[in-house]
Amino acid sequence: MAAIGVLRGDSTDGARPLAVVGRDPRASGEMLEAAVVAGLASAGADVLLAGVLPTPAVAYLAADVGADLGVVLSASHNPMPDNGVKFFGRGGYKLPDDVEDAIEQRLYEEWDRPVGAQVGRVQTLPDAATRYAEHLLSLAPAPLSGLRVVVDGAHGAAATLAPAVYRKAGAEVICIGCEPDGYNINDAVGSTHPQALQAAVRAHAADVGIAHDGDADRCLAVDADGAMVDGDAILAVCALAMRDAGTLRGGRVVTTVMTNLGFTRAMAEAGIGVVQTAVGDRYVLEAMRKHGISLGGEQSGHLVFGDLAVTGDGVLTGLQLLGRMAATGQPLASLASVLQRSPQVLVNVPVPDRQVAASPAVTQAVAAEQQRLGDAGRVLLRPSGTEPLVRVMVEAVTEQEAVSCAERIAAAVRAASG
């Protein structure tokens, strides 16, 4: 594949390139895996098949075995019919934009295809899940004894692994969304469908609920009363834990433009600085590495612990959050109360073309609403990176004002879409 040549810089050291390939359990991943592996081997790369594993597991294993490339076949939180390909380079890091552009350019260039003994070989990595689970457990900040946890595996890549890890860390675990069949991934379960988890936490009188998405790079939570605890609140809890432990390098955290204004206020009161980036855990990680910061994350539940992992890891995040609960003896609602959020509304507008977000009519509507809100609120409009949606986010003094503002902008997006 074109990625091999770009990532290895056309090395002539004689070593055969090595790739680690994993996937989530959706049915289409079976045939995509076969196609990707065939492409890699035909390009002269040796392939290690990791099987069904979370996206961060492939990143970890790629670094652990010294691979040139990690490949994940997953559509994350998207519905089952969707699928996609994620790449990691050396060290398990996500590829920067310029490398992705170079790979795309290579697709149109002529190249000499390997033949005979130069063709790559394919092997299974039989202990992939065990190696990753042991790695996670080695990073658990405290035993989870005494915690009753409901885990929603989204019928996804961590449906088996995540409950096993939390149990081995000491928690009593109740599972929902942990029976993947290739078709039910993210179907009314997981981090984008928390209702089942909220009900299960209340029904089982659990201390906390943990929700992952299809490829388990996200973690959201539910407190004992069934209230949602999003990525902003989890990030705040973990930031304070790391500050107290002396592991919050630089005394700052990295967030995105979607992060609630209440988070910035909470961090200021705690003496912690905030660096803001575009939406995407890749950009969060880039800013962390640039500024020497050890923690960053997104409202959606992607958290990156820079001294522990090279990408967002939902199960690692769950361990850190549960560890804070266990170490302090405080319920999640109490820990999360550090974040007093501003009313924030998010409206997803289906569109045939996401470029409508940049149209003059929509731009004017956004400017008018921002002027109406003044310094007391803000508007963020952005096309989804994975779905045919334009996301309208508004923060205001009151929820009613935020809803009204968001709906007016959403109406402008719909009108501009025809």
Helix (H, G, I), strand (E, B) or coil at 148: strand
**Residue whose token pair is 């997803």:** 348
CA–CA separation, 59 vs 55, rounded Å? 7
Tell me if residue 76 is catalytic: yes
Polymer length of the chain: 418
Q: Which long-range contacts (CB under 8 A, 24 or more apart) does 34-40 make?
A: 36/1, 36/71, 36/73, 36/85, 37/122, 39/1, 40/1, 40/4, 40/69, 40/71, 40/120
Nearest to 88 by CA among 106, 62, 107, 66: 62
Q: Give me the catalytic one of 11, 28, 74, 76.
A: 76
H or E stretch including 327? helix 314-328
Angstrom CA distances, 79 to 120, 195, 315, 415, stand at 33, 17, 21, 27
**Can you say how many angstroms the Cα of residue 16 is from the centroid of all Cα atoms in its chain?**
31
Tell me the catalytic residues: 76
